[in-house]
Amino acid sequence: YLLALKKLTATDVSALFCCNKAFVFLLSWIVLKDRFMGVRIAGKP
């Protein structure tokens, strides 16, 4: 975090940390070719 602040503004670093889980999810979905099962989970009563 501190190393990132040397090159980026605090706002940019905060935005990256907030979206970190979404980026990891998307990259794992693309790289591992995992199928997204959220629709099935959300569709169950």
- 1 versus 7: the higher-pLDDT residue is 7
User: What CA–CA distance (Å, rounded) separates 27 from 34?
Assistant: 10
pTM (two decimals): 0.39
- Mean pLDDT computed over 26-41: 64
Q: What local confidence, expressed as pLDDT, does residue 29 receive?
A: 74
Q: What local confidence, expressed as pLDDT, does residue 44 receive?
A: 52
Flag whether pLDDT at 12 surpasses 60.
yes
Residues with Cβ < 8 Å from 44, sequence gap 6 or more?
A: none
Flag whether pLDDT at 45 surpasses 70.
no
